[in-house]
Every structure is written in structure tokens, then in C-alpha cells.
Amino acid sequence: LKYDNFEEFVDMVEGNISAAENYTISKDNSDILNQSSSAVKDFGTFDFIIIGAGAGGGVLANRLSEILEWNVLLLEAGGSPDDFTKILGLSAYTYYSTRSWGYNVTSQKHACLAANEEKCIFPQGRGLGGGTTINGGVYVRGHPEDFDRWVSVYGNPGWSYEEVLPYFKKSENALFEPRDSYYHGEGGYWTVDQCLSTPTVVDLFKPLFKEKGIDFIDDYSGKYENGIAQYQMSLKGNERVSTYSAFLENFTSRSNLNISLNNFVTKIAINKATKTAYGVYFVKDGVNYFAKAKKEVIVSAGGVNSAQLLMLSGIGPKKHLKDLNIPLVKNLPVGQNLQDHVMFIGLIFRTNRIFYNQTMAEMLKLYEENQRPLMTGYSVELVSFTNFGRNQTIRPDIEYQISTPPPSGSQFEFFFGINDSFVEAININTSSDINLFIYLMHPKSRGSITLKSNSPLDKPLIDPNYFAEDEDIETLYRGVELILSMNNSQILKDYGAYIVDVEYPYCESYEKFSKDWWLCAIKYFSYSTFHAVSANRMGPDPKTSVVNARLQVYGMKNLRVVDSSVLPELISGHITAPVLMLAEKASDIIKEKYNRH
Ligand SMILES: Cc1cc2nc3c(=O)[nH]c(=O)nc-3n(C[C@H](O)[C@H](O)[C@H](O)COP(=O)(O)OP(=O)(O)OC[C@H]3O[C@@H](n4cnc5c(N)ncnc54)[C@H](O)[C@@H]3O)c2cc1C
């Protein structure tokens, strides 16, 4: 970071925090879609047009432009990342800025009940790097079984763990130790490292989990994922690694890589007779443009917006498009099968230790001196991927994320959009409490992305349909039960630690710590993790899938989707690493097609 002095750096950070706190999320997309006339200007002809510079699009743009005679256009709706986005621990403030699409889920019946109008916030990245510029930076690939299921359950040849492992390794520059080199890449563009954890937190939780048969493992991206471990992070030094910093920033001198910012793509141009994609329409600074694609249009607009764009272009469920007066090009289940990892955020350990009592200025000083990535409000110390049967060959049921310091009451309110009565009930002590977020790894419930209207001005409707299947809340409760069974451990007593019996409003009629009380708490304090996947899932049957195993849209020519929306289902972890892998493999699939592998 290039600042003349520390005060200037602090000013930059405080300015961003204050701007976030005063930011009003716009109700629609008018902040970036402000056409001044209906005339359409020609933007030129390219071999490939990639829509969206996020995790998928950033990798693709780099790899395809390695072929110097291919002219690649990367169109991104947002702008460039800035220094504030490099500070992982402050990422939640970026949700309240133009760096995010500012979405919420639709009112939920069984989850998000403590959120205003029962609508959890659902930020998605906007700008170079997409989600990788605003996310938590946690690096998790998932369990080998996840990818084997892409083949055995979902019928996608070529995507088993053994087949995708080389692509995970290709991007990677693993720095943490110890690690198993069979599973890790070195010298790739994407640096993966670990943060310094707070030793007392590690000393508390390692033996506590061990008592339950959950061992500490050095490397959950190695042979085994299940266990308690330190998080691996997308981190270089103290700074975030994004697809912008890793795959784009150092490649702008390639004359065949054209990156254009602040372009909102509103429609894919399709020859309806031949069902061939041949270009895109977009709006940039109020002006309408058309760009032509000679080879392919690749949609990498992310877990939500790819479905939105396909539907606006006439590719989607026939009835839904008819209801909105969108002429049908191809009837496909676009927007169906949406999944997100829902998490319970109401489990808090209170202790008699002081884990953390630094001021923001002190934390920023450490950050600037490259001692520790700034962590506040959303910090990750340890993770446990836990399989109830303690079987390493089976994917985990639950992810436990152990964090200090927990978000303060006002941060809970701000980051999660939680209403006041709950914030008061939680009554967090940020220096001595430890937050344990519990993620449901494999929800059975399926939601949807639909359009509100046929206009790109309207934000899409995101309904993850959390806990529609009873089994999901039961599994999450089993995750809570496992932690409750630690409550009498001597290890906890040594720390004066116990699980807080929060005075949850609306759950008072249940006996505290009874199953019904926890189920009530889960419904109120369950939250989105913003891991939108599967709305355009990959599979063999166009009745239930949108793209084939080569990521081509069914029934269409020259049109692919390469992003999180094609994942057949949620993996056992976070989403960036699998999307990097997916885009690496997609680049090879495309190069093979044109004999340029
Ligand atoms: C707040 C948050 C926290 C997360 N935390 C983690 C984490 O800690 N670890 C992890 O592994 N994963 C995390 N994720 C998930 C991960 O970041 C995403 O799953 C991943 O970025 C998805 O990649 P993608 O390529 O599908 O889409 P994105 O990365 O979202 O990229 C899509 C891009 O397309 C652009 N775009 C969209 N529509 C248009 C349009 N019409 N025209 C032009 N451009 C368009 C967007 O602006 C965006 O830049 C998090 C996500 C969020 C939002």
C-alpha cells in the first residue's frame, strides 16, 4: 500500500467505513443502467466475449488470451478494486457500496426470521474480481466425494476428483506448511496461505474437538478434509488475492485482452433460426453498445446474474418467460435448483479470557506492518469440517467456523441486517466471546432465481428456500447438538467458558436449550452465506440441467456458462476454489475445441 504516512492510510479506511455506514442500497439497477438514448453503437468484433470478470470470468479471460491471435473481450458491470478491498477483515463493509449488487433474498418462511422483513442480505461482487474482491477470502476446495458425485450422481463425465485435481493445482501457489505436495500447486497465480491464529483460541478448541473424535489436521485440502484445522486463505502477505490481482492486473499489456469496465450486459444477441449466440448488448456510461462474437459468448456473470441474463435473453422456463412477455428462444430450467449454504450464527461461547482487545487503529498498524491480516467482526481462527460418522471417505455434514472477535452488536445489526431486538438479546462481549458459525454443508432444499419483470432494471428475485426440507434444519440441529455435548468439558471449565443462553425474542415459550428452543433460534438466526450455486446446473438432461459437461447451453450454439451457477450442487466448503478449477478446466475444453490446447 502506498501511503505517505499511517494517518493517511487510517483516513482511507475510516472514510470507507463511514461511507458504508451511510450507504443506501438502491432498490433497482438504475445506479448502473442509465440509458440516455435508444441508439446502439458498435463496440467491435471479438473472438470470445466473456460477460463478468469474477472468479470464473477472470481466469477464463487470462487463459483464453494466452492464445495471442484470439481477440478476447471481457465485459464487467462494475469498476476496479481499490486498497480498501485488499483488507480481508473489513470485507463486510464492501457489501454496502457499489462493489456489491446489493441483493436480498425474498422473505423466507423458515430462516432469516431475525432479518428485516425476513430477507437476509445477499451481496454479490460487482467489479473486477467479482465475489473474490468482496468475499471472506477463505480457501476451501471441498471433499473428493463432492466431485466424484458430479460424475456418479449428476452424470458429468470428466469432473471426478482425480480429473479436476490438476486444475486445482494449476492456479495455486501454496505457501503454508506443512502441506502435501501431491495435492498442491506451487508457482501458480493464486496464492494460498494461512493467517496467524490466536494461540489461546487454538489451545481451547483443538482438545475440545479431539474429545469428540475430531482430530486436528494440518491441511484440509490434502488427503483428508474432515477434522479441525486452521483456515487456508486467499492471501498474499497481508492482502487479499482476487481474480483481479491474480489473473488480470499483471496481464493488461496483452494487446488481445480487452477489458472494459462499467458495462452492464442486458441481452445476449441470438440468431433465433439457428439458435446461435453471436454477440451481446450492453450499456456503458449511459450509451447502448453491441459487440460481436466470432467464436463464442461465455456467460460468467455469477451465481445469480447468469440466470438473470439468460432469462432476459429468452433462455429459461417457458411459462415464466411467457408470463413476463419475453420471447422464448429455448425452454430450459434456468434459475431452478438454486442452493446456498445456510448457517446458524447464534451460538456463542462466553469465557473469562481476554482474547482480543485491540482498537481499530492498533489492528490497522499491525496490518500495515504486515504482521497479521486485519481481522475484526469477521475473522476466522479455526474451522472444522465434521462428518457425523467420523468417516474420512465421506464428505462433511457440517462446517464449524470459529471466530474471534465476534461481530459487535452494532456490527451484527449492520453486516447481517438483523433487527434491533435480536442485537440486544445477543449482547456480545467482543473481547472475551467466541463465535461459532455452523454451516449446513449439503442442504436438500432447492430454491430459485426468477425475474421480477422483463427489464434489466429490476433486480432478480433470489429465493434460496432455506429449510423447505425438514431434514435440513434437523441436520443443522445435529451440528448444534454436537457442540452442546462439549458444554460440560473440563477444557471449557478451565477457560471459564460456557455456551450463552441468549434471550432469543420469540423463542421464550420454549424451555432453554431444549430442541424446540434451538430450532426456534436456528430459524431466527440462520443466515445466508452468499454461496449461490446450481441455478444453471451442469448435467446430462436438458429437462433438469442448463449446460452439458462441456458447459455449453443446451440447444444453443456458441454459448457457454462458466461460473458458480453451473455447479451441480453445493460442495463441502466455500465456492471460490471450485470456480477457479472450473474455469481452468473450461479454458482447456475451449482450447481443445479449437485445436489450440
Ligand atoms: C460476501 C461474500 C463472501 C464470500 N466468502 C467466500 C469465502 O470466504 N471463500 C470462498 O471461497 N467463497 C466465498 N464466497 C463465494 C465466492 O466469492 C463466489 O462463489 C465466487 O466469486 C463466484 O464466482 P463467479 O465467477 O460465479 O461469480 P462472481 O465472482 O460473482 O463474478 C460475476 C461477475 O460478473 C459481473 N456481472 C454480473 N452481471 C453482469 C452483467 N449483466 N454484465 C456484466 N457483468 C456482470 C459481476 O459484476 C461480477 O464481477 C463469498 C461470496 C460473497 C458474495
Residue 14 lies in a domain: no
Residue 100 lies in a domain: no
Residues 489, 463, single domain; the answer is: yes
Pairing assessment for the beta strands 172-174 and 190-194 based on DSSP bridges: parallel
Report the number of distinct structural domains present in the chain. Answer: 2
Residue nearest to atom 4 of ligand 1 (CA): 135
Average of per-residue pLDDT values in the chain: 94
* Among candidate residues 366, 369, 389, 388, the one with its CA nearest the CA of residue 379: 366
Residues 510, 540, single domain; the answer is: no
Distance of CA 293 from the midpoint of ligand 1 (Å): 24
As a whole number of angstroms, the distance between CA 18 and CA 230 comes to 32
| Active-site position among 184, 341, 442, 574 | 574
Residues 516, 451, single domain; the answer is: yes
Q: Which of 135, 233, 235, 313 for a ligand 1 pocket mutation test, highest count of atoms within 8 Å of Cβ?
A: 135
Residues 538, 585, single domain; the answer is: yes
Residue nearest to atom 50 of ligand 1 (CA): 135
Q: Which of 20-29, 225-234, 429-438 has the lowest mean pLDDT?
A: 429-438
Q: Which of 122, 574, 582, 587 for a ligand 1 pocket mutation test, highest count of atoms within 8 Å of Cβ?
A: 574
Residue nearest to atom 46 of ligand 1 (CA): 126
**454: region left, alpha or beta (phi > 0 left; psi from -120 to 50 alpha):** alpha
Residue 362 reports pLDDT greater than 60: yes
Residue 597 designated active-site: no
Residues 346, 225, single domain; the answer is: yes
Residues 425, 541, single domain; the answer is: no
Binding residue per annotation — 135? yes
Taking residues 571-577, what's their average pLDDT? 97
Pairing assessment for the beta strands 498-499 and 342-350 based on DSSP bridges: antiparallel
Q: Given 508, 528, 548, which residue is the final one in a domain?
A: 528
Containing domain of residue 283, as a range? Answer: 30-81+127-135+244-339+532-593
Residue 380 reports pLDDT greater than 80: no
As a whole number of angstroms, the distance between CA 591 and CA 586 comes to 9
Residues 511, 426, single domain; the answer is: yes
Q: Which atom of ligand 1 is nearest to the CA of 133?
A: 17
Q: Is 156 helix (H, G, I), strand (E, B) or coil?
A: coil
Q: Name every protein residue with a CB atom under 6 angstroms from any ligand 1 atom.
A: 51-57, 75-78, 123-127, 130-132, 134-138, 263-265, 300-303, 305, 309, 530-531, 563-564, 574-577, 579
Taking residues 409-428, what's their average pLDDT? 79
Distance of CA 531 from the midpoint of ligand 1 (Å): 9
pLDDT of residue 532: 98
Tell me, what CATH number does 37's domain have? 3.50.50.60
Instruction: Give me the percent of the chain exceeding a pLDDT of 90.
Output: 82
pLDDT, greater one: 409 or 177: 177
Residue 578 lies in a domain: yes
As a whole number of angstroms, the distance between CA 552 and CA 561 comes to 7
Does ipTM come in above 0.90? yes
Residue 429 lies in a domain: yes
Residues 210, 267, single domain; the answer is: no
Residue 174 lies in a domain: no
Grid cell of 179 as nine digits: 502441506
Query: Exposure pattern of 128-152 as b/e (b: 16+ CB <10 Å)?
Result: bbbbbbbbbbbbbbbbbbbbbbbbe
Residues 422, 559, single domain; the answer is: no
Instruction: Give me the percent of the chain exceeding a pLDDT of 70.
Output: 98
As a whole number of angstroms, the distance between CA 326 and CA 309 comes to 12
Distance of CA 104 from the midpoint of ligand 1 (Å): 15
Residue 144 lies in a domain: no
Q: How far is the CA of 560 from the CAs of 52, 63, 149, 297, in angstroms? A: 13, 16, 22, 7
- Angle ∠(428,434,439) on CA atoms, nearest 5: 105
Q: Which atom of ligand 1 is nearest to the CA of 564?
A: 26
Residue 531 designated active-site: yes
Highest mean pLDDT among 88-97, 362-371, 551-560: 551-560
- Per-residue model confidence as pLDDT tens digits over 459-469: 999 999 999 99
What pTM did the predictor assign? 0.97
Q: Which atom of ligand 1 is nearest to the CA of 125?
A: 30
Q: Which atom of ligand 1 is nearest to the CA of 565?
A: 26
Residues 287, 373, single domain; the answer is: no
| Active-site position among 143, 184, 341, 531 | 531
- Angle ∠(283,287,289) on CA atoms, nearest 5: 60
As a whole number of angstroms, the distance between CA 119 and CA 108 comes to 6
Residues 402, 439, single domain; the answer is: yes
Distance of CA 251 from the midpoint of ligand 1 (Å): 21
Distance of CA 503 from the midpoint of ligand 1 (Å): 35
Distance of CA 578 from the midpoint of ligand 1 (Å): 12
Q: Which atom of ligand 1 is nearest to the CA of 101?
A: 47
pLDDT of residue 378: 45
Residue 440 lies in a domain: yes
Q: How confident is the model at residue 597 (pLDDT cuts 50, 70, 90)?
A: confident
- Per-residue model confidence as pLDDT tens digits over 268-281: 999 999 999 999 99
Q: Given 510, 528, 546, which residue is the final one in a domain?
A: 528
Q: How far is the CA of 195 from the CAs of 140, 177, 349, 367, in angstroms? A: 14, 12, 22, 12
Task: Give 528's strand partners.
Answer: 342
pLDDT of residue 415: 80
Tell me, what CATH number does 504's domain have? 3.30.560.10
Binding residue per annotation — 299? no
Q: Given 475, 499, 528, which residue is the final one in a domain?
A: 528
Binding residue per annotation — 137? yes
Residue 405 reports pLDDT greater than 80: no
Taking residues 377-381, what's their average pLDDT? 60
Residue 556 lies in a domain: yes
Distance of CA 133 from the midpoint of ligand 1 (Å): 8
pLDDT of residue 469: 98
Residue nearest to atom 47 of ligand 1 (CA): 126
Q: Which atom of ligand 1 is nearest to the CA of 136?
A: 8
Residues 326, 214, single domain; the answer is: no
